[in-house]
Amino acid sequence: MRPATTGNDAAMTILLRRRLILAGPALLAAPALAGRPAAAQAPRTPAQMEGPYYPRAIPDDADADLLRVAGQPAPARGVPLFLEGVVRAADGSALPGARVEIWQADDQGIYLHPGDARLAQRDPGFQGFGRAVADGAGRYAFRTIRPGLYPGRTRHIHLRAQPAAGGGALTTQVYFPDEPRNEGDMLLRRLAPDQRAALTARVTPADGGLRAGFDIVLA
C-alpha cells in the first residue's frame, strides 16, 4: 500500500497537471499529430525486451515524479527530464486512462533492483520506478532524470503501457538521439529505421532540464 498522500504529492499532482495544460498547444502543433485525423492508422510502437531490472517489489512511492522520494530529504541527482506524450490506439484514437510505467537507472547507471551489483551506491533520492495514468486526451507525463549509463547499453528508459480496459500491454524502451553508444547498442541497432525513429524521444531544452516527447501506439 502507498502511504497517505502528502502535501508534496498533492503539489506535484498540480504541477504535473499544469505541465500537461501548458503542453497542450505544443502537442497539438507537433508534426506527428498536426493534421492527422482522429481515425488515422498509426504504426504500433515496437516492443522491446523487458530486461532484468523491472522492480522485484514496487516501491512505496511509485508516483509520476521520480525526482522526489517520500521521506528522502534530497531530490534526485542528475539532469531533470520531463518525459511526456500521448497514448493512442492503432486507429489513432487517444486512450484516456491508459496506464504507463517507467523504470530506469539513476544518474550513475544503477537500478533499484537487488540484481544490480552497485545497489548499495544508488541515489536514495531517485525513485527509479514510476506510474502515470493518461488524462482524458491520452496524455501522460513523468518527472524523472536523464538515465545514467551502465556497461553494455546506450542510454534508455524502460516503459510499459496498457489501455485502461486492460489487455494489450506493450513493453518497450525509450532511446535518445545523438548518443555515442546508440550505434553499438545490441537492441537499438537491430531495428529498422522507422522502428528506431518510433523509439527515439524528441528531446528539447526545458526549464531546468530536458523535455523528451514520446508518443505510444498500442495494438
Q: Least distance in Å: CB of 150 to Fe ion? A: 7
The single residue listed with the C-alpha cell 497537471 is 17
Taking the complex as a whole, the smallest distance from the CB of residue 134 to Fe ion amounts, in Å, to 23
Nearer CB in complex with Fe ion: 51/92: 51
Q: How far is the CB of 103 from Fe ion (least distance, A)?
A: 8
Q: Which is nearer to Fe ion, 88 or 113 (CB)?
A: 113
Angle at 196 between CA 89 and CA 107, to 5 degrees: 100
CB of 53 to Fe ion, least distance (A): 6
State the residue number with the nearest CB to Fe ion.
51
Residues that bind Fe ion (CB under 5 A): 51
Nearer to Fe ion, 85 or 148 (CB): 148
CB-nearer residue toward Fe ion: 31 or 115: 115
HSE-CB for 5 with a 13 A CA cutoff: 8
Give the whole-angstrom CA distance, residue 204 versus residue 213.
8
- Cα separation, 214 vs 219, in Å, equals 16
Angle at 98 between CA 94 and CA 102, to 5 degrees: 120
